[in-house]
Copies of this chain bind each other. A is one copy, B any other.
Amino acid sequence: MGPTIKDVAKAAGVSITTVSRVLNQYSDVNPKTRTKVLKVVEQLGYRPNSVARSLVMNRTNTVGLVVSDLSRSRNGHHFMFDVLCGINDRVQELGYDLVLFSTSTTAQKKTPYLDFVRQRRVDGVLMMGIRLDDPYTHEVVEASVPSVLIDVPLISETCSYVTTDSVVGAKLAVEHLLELGHRRIGFVNGHAQAAVSKERLQGYRIALEAAGMAFDPELVYYGNFEQEDGANGTAELLRKFPDLSAIFFASDLMALGALKYLQTHSLPVPNSLSIVGYDDIELASLMQPALTTVRQKRYEMGQSAAETLIRMLEQNEKGRGIVLPPELVVRETTGVHEETTSDI
């Protein structure tokens, strides 16, 4: 293959120690020999072998991104890709390489987290799409290699997380609906093994109770963030509560499924039912009518995750939690609730 440091040393008439010194900007090398070495490096087109360097330095300058069910969930598509972009950009800016691993609950049972990270020799790991009951979730917080979780609020010496505040996100959504006069508001949540689901449920409940309304567990349906779950959820909620006037969905995809369902059943949105989604994926602004939703800054989440991981690596920072603020985006799927004549 290419020339090694030995070739450079020989050609420059110095020792490999000296070559290493000039390449790593050490001070104790004569300016003349420095330029001499650099010229030879240029001539030979020498590039240091990062594998050899990693071996002796015991660090790879590489972070792993493990994502659960990357190509499985459609909802993940919209959410994860932006986060991935943010991670990738920031990691690269900070001089690291990013290696991608997808996993699944079953795969995690086969290969313990530590095996995984010790073999791959990544300096740190980012994790996303993981469930609360996944094996890795608990292994990661106790591991000695730094990590940051996305949307899983766990902290340890070596483990941080970044998320966007789902309880205020849900609160924003529900408060918006309350202001529009809605009194019976359904909630189609994500699966219970997502931390955000718990938080969104909490936010939903807080908003209701702050308005002096009772929380009714029957009003919440658990889906899996996917389109069909939205349709099924609205169908069931509407069956149980014919007087429902609004539904809050834990993902835009579920809201879309609901919208489709309502349209095929000739139930106009927002006139017969107001709906609000979660995430603000690209689709949200494009559907007809455009979806009212809660925006998460996904790209920024990725950037932030990469940044805190690398700070843990380089500045020995301890684990901490970073929570970004969500943002309500009002579009066309929410309208004021017209009181029914029965009120008179």
| A52 sits at the interface (CB 8 A) | yes
Would B89 and A71 count as touching, CB distance under 8 A?
Answer: yes
Would B58 and A55 count as touching, CB distance under 8 A?
Answer: no
Would A98 and B97 count as touching, CB distance under 8 A?
Answer: no
User: Known interface pairs A47-B118, A51-B54, A77-B81. Does A71 touch B100 (Cβ–Cβ under 8 Å)?
Assistant: no
Contacts of A288 in B (CB 8 A): 288
Contacts of A119 in B (CB 8 A): 47-48, 50
| A211 sits at the interface (CB 8 A) | no
User: Known interface pairs A55-B51, A77-B81, A282-B74. Does A102 touch B89 (Cβ–Cβ under 8 Å)?
Assistant: yes
| A335 sits at the interface (CB 8 A) | no
Would B55 and A52 count as touching, CB distance under 8 A?
Answer: yes
Would B51 and A71 count as touching, CB distance under 8 A?
Answer: no
Question: Which residue of the partner chain, among B52, B85, B86, B120, contacts A50 with CB atoms under 8 Å?
Answer: B120
| A11 sits at the interface (CB 8 A) | no
Contacts of A51 in B (CB 8 A): 51, 54-55, 60, 121
| A70 sits at the interface (CB 8 A) | yes
| A316 sits at the interface (CB 8 A) | no
Chain A 209-226: CB-based contact to B (< 8 A → 1; otherwise 0): 000000000000000000
Contacts of A241 in B (CB 8 A): none
Near B by CB (< 8 A), chain A positions 79-123 give 81-82, 85-86, 88-89, 92, 97-102, 114-115, 118-121
Looking at the assembled complex, report how far the CB atom of A280 sits from the nearest CB atom of chain B, in whole angstroms. Answer: 14
Contacts of A287 in B (CB 8 A): 286
Near B by CB (< 8 A), chain A positions 31-77 give 45, 47-52, 54-55, 58, 60, 62, 70-71, 74, 77
Interface on chain A toward B: helix, strand, loop, or mixed SS?
A: helix
Instruction: Considering the complex, give the chain B residue whose CB is closest to the CB of A71.
Output: B85
Looking at the assembled complex, report how far the CB atom of A56 sits from the nearest CB atom of chain B, in whole angstroms. Answer: 10
> How many chain A residues have a CB neighbour from B under 8 Å?
44
- Copies of this chain in its oligomeric complex: 2
Separation of A98 and B84 alpha carbons in the complex (Å): 14
Would B99 and A71 count as touching, CB distance under 8 A?
Answer: no
> Considering residues A1, A48, A62, A286, which has the most beta carbons from chain B within 10 angstroms of its beta carbon?
A286
Would A47 and B115 count as touching, CB distance under 8 A?
Answer: yes
Looking at the assembled complex, report how far the CB atom of A113 sits from the nearest CB atom of chain B, in whole angstroms. Answer: 12
Contacts of A121 in B (CB 8 A): 49-51
Contacts of A49 in B (CB 8 A): 55, 121
Contacts of A115 in B (CB 8 A): 47
Near B by CB (< 8 A), chain A positions 189-215 give none
Contacts of A102 in B (CB 8 A): 88-89, 92
| A299 sits at the interface (CB 8 A) | yes
Near B by CB (< 8 A), chain A positions 119-168 give 119-121
User: Known interface pairs A55-B55, A288-B288. Does A88 touch B70 (Cβ–Cβ under 8 Å)?
Assistant: yes
| A283 sits at the interface (CB 8 A) | yes
Question: Which residue of the partner chain, among B74, B99, B299, contacts A98 with CB atoms under 8 Å?
Answer: B99
| A12 sits at the interface (CB 8 A) | no
Separation of A286 and B227 alpha carbons in the complex (Å): 11
| A256 sits at the interface (CB 8 A) | yes
| A242 sits at the interface (CB 8 A) | no
Contacts of A256 in B (CB 8 A): 286
Closest 8 pairs (CB-CB, A-B): A71-B85, A99-B99, A47-B118, A47-B119, A81-B81, A51-B54, A98-B100, A288-B288
